[in-house]
Homo-oligomer: A and B are copies of this chain.
Amino acid sequence: MNDLEQKCIDAGLKMTGQRRAILEVLESADDHPSVETVYLRSKARDASVSIATVYRTLNLLDQMNLVKKHDFNENHARFETNLENHHHFIDVHTGEVVEFKDEALDGRLRQIAKDLGFDLVDRRVELYGHRKQQGNDDE
């Protein structure tokens, strides 16, 4: 049994076949899958999974803080299970999402919130761009 599954059981959720499939997909994902992607991967494990259940389950997990919802300026949500504090760099050409951590950045953000007189409950830092290359031909 994986970690997410255990946490869901601890939270009192019933462990159905569909949920197990979805949780396994999330547990093994090292990317930032869309709902559609989670749906397709889950359906490969359990054909009875419906998109409605995927939405319901992902929202449930998001509320329980077991996954994090993003949108990356797209027209659909993406989810990730990496709950460690980190930020994202999105390649605007390929859609690739690169995760990074930066203590100096985090410290500065905390200081800014403090200076503004706010308690920080969440932060969103997304950098958009593309891989640097010699003779870049689109600018």
Q: Which residues of A contact B (CB under 8 A)?
A: 71, 73, 89, 91-92, 98, 100, 102, 104-105, 108-109, 112-113, 116-132, 136, 139
Contacts and interface: CB of A to CB of B under 8 A. Distances in A.
Contact of A130 (B89, B100, B118, B127): B118
Tell me if A's interface is mostly helix, strand, loop or mixed: strand
29 contacts: A71-B71, A73-B124, A89-B112, A92-B121, A92-B122, A98-B116, A100-B116, A102-B108, A102-B112, A104-B108, A105-B112, A108-B108, A113-B127, A113-B129, A117-B132, A118-B127, A118-B131, A119-B129, A119-B130, A119-B131, A119-B136, A120-B127, A120-B129, A121-B129, A122-B129, A123-B126, A124-B125, A124-B126, A125-B125
Nearest to A109: B127
Contacts of A116: 89, 98, 100
B118 A91 contact: yes
A116 B91 CA distance: 11
A139 B120 CA distance: 12
Contacts of A130: 118-119, 121
A98 B108 CA distance: 17
A46 B117 CA distance: 41
What are the 9 A-B residue pairs with the smallest beta carbon separation, nearest first?
A122-B128, A124-B126, A120-B129, A118-B129, A121-B129, A119-B129, A105-B108, A117-B132, A119-B132
